[in-house]
Amino acid sequence: MSGSAGTGKTVVALHRAARLARADVGAKVLLTTFSQPLAEALSRKLAVLTAGEAEVRARITVASWERLADELYQLAFGRRPRVAPSDQVRAALVAAAQAQGVGTFSDRFLLGEFTQVVDAWQVESVEAYTGTPRSGRKSRLGARQRERLWPVFAAARAALNEQGLMTWPKVFGAVTAAYSERAAKPFTQIVVDEAQDLGVPELRMLCALAPDGADALFFAGDLGQRIFQPPFSWKALGVDVRGRSTTLKVNYRTSHQIREAADRLLPGVIRDMDGREEARRGTISVFDGPPPEIVRAADQGTETAAAIAFIAAARADGIGAEEIGAFVRSRAQLDRARRAVEGAGLVPVEGTDPGAGKEGRVLIGTLHLAKGLEFKAVLVLACDDQVLPLQQRIDDAMDEADLDEIYETERQLFYVACTRARDRLLVAGVLPVSEFLDDLEKD
């Protein structure tokens, strides 16, 4: 099932999980998504949906892909996996590249190639690497380049193994291997929210945990909100949803004015690697609101003043502090969101803090953090040139095709942040501002 932001995909996923659990006393339903904070939000909503039905709720497990893999790994192997953080993987790759004398590839490229190709597909040899599809990796690599890179990846993997460390793709792979041959699966049905951000190892794992059957797996997602994973062929992994999907067209969350502006950021039709198309035009919103406010500030002080005025207006209309979210492209700009919230006399709290979501506090964070959340009022700040799209990513582009992929995912990230808003949206940056702001204002 697909649909643009705010069309109720998550609501459908929740109702499907509840219906499956009600229909069979022996059901063991998994409701899963990309992050644990979002999984916890789903769990709270599910508790409301199944209020007074304790036996139904008990048949549903809600967990993120990583939390699920962590728990199943412990059940299969009797110990918890020690997962290396991304910075440690990057450091291992950089050290291996230096030792091998491979200095023509950036740190970001090495990490992406290892994570999205070598580790995702659990490649174990240079021969296998040469034949592994690099779906979503737009920069071309010939056989000689792959042969040159392979010792770097092999050495980095060996260094992590020596420390007893795993990567998440390796954990997913171990769980997949442990459960794929078992006749008795841990779940009878699996419902996946935000399915567009599934990677190769995550999808393989979910397939291994579900029994055979046409309706054992249900996916809800939006290709236009893919921000975490490169595209790849689901059909190649045995999951073919062509001709079996439905597109939702009524937006219940976002006002017509905000949705219409945000839709200008993306093409009218998005295709996946299996040829399936998602038409984005024709969606309607069920309510109106003020148009988005777009501020091209001369300096950061002017941007902050506009943000403070926006928050004050929202508060005057009865919007609570906890119903406001302020987002920036990366942590380097987080102080600009913090200054705006504090200048309005409110308490900012990062989404990773225990106080996030508490009454009287404004959530601040990066655009990635906005994924899966919703607010009555949203501020997207620091939309400066060289910040959005992120200049570091552009500098790391290997060729024109790679650059196109970077611009596409940066647009989708911006779209995700803007569509978190229900009633009010402020988009602001300091001159020269991001080129994406022009697209928001096109007729």
d(CA 56, CA 60): 7
CA pseudo-torsion sign 383, 385, 391, 393:
positive
Centre a 10 Å sphere on the Cβ of residue 139 and count the other Cβ atoms it contains: 19
Q: For residues 254 and 433, what is the distance between their CA atoms, to the nearest angstrom?
A: 25
Q: Quick: pLDDT tens for 23-79.
A: 999 999 999 999 888 899 899 999 999 999 999 999 999 999 999 999 999 999 999
Rounded Cα gap, residues 127 and 259, in angstroms: 48
Percentage of the chain beyond pLDDT 90 is 69
User: Between 195 and 109, whose confidence is greater?
Assistant: 195
Tokens at 368, concatenated: 């990635």
The pLDDT score that the predictor gives to residue 232 is 82
Which amino acid appears at position 398 of this protein? Answer: M
pLDDT 10s digits, 231-271: 788 888 888 887 777 889 999 999 999 999 999 999 888 88
- pLDDT (tens digit, 9 = 90+) per residue, 80-138? 999 999 999 999 999 999 999 887 788 888 998 899 889 999 999 999 998 887 765 55
Q: What digits encode the pLDDT tens for the residues 337-387?
A: 999 999 999 999 997 555 555 678 999 999 998 988 899 999 999 999 999
139 pLDDT above the threshold of 70: no
DSSP H/E element including 48 = helix 36-49
Specify the pairing of strand 269-271 against strand 277-279.
Answer: antiparallel
- The per-residue pLDDT for 442 is 72
The model's pTM: 0.87
Burial 284-312, CB ≥16 within 10 A → b, else e: ebeeebebbbbbbbeebeebbebbbbbbe
Reduced to 3 DSSP states, what percent helix, strand and coil does the chain have, rounded to the nearest 5? 45, 15, 35
Concatenate the DSSP letters of all residues of 149-200 into one string. HHHHHHHHHHHHHHTT-B-HHHHHHHHHHHHHT-SS-S-SEEEEESGGG--H
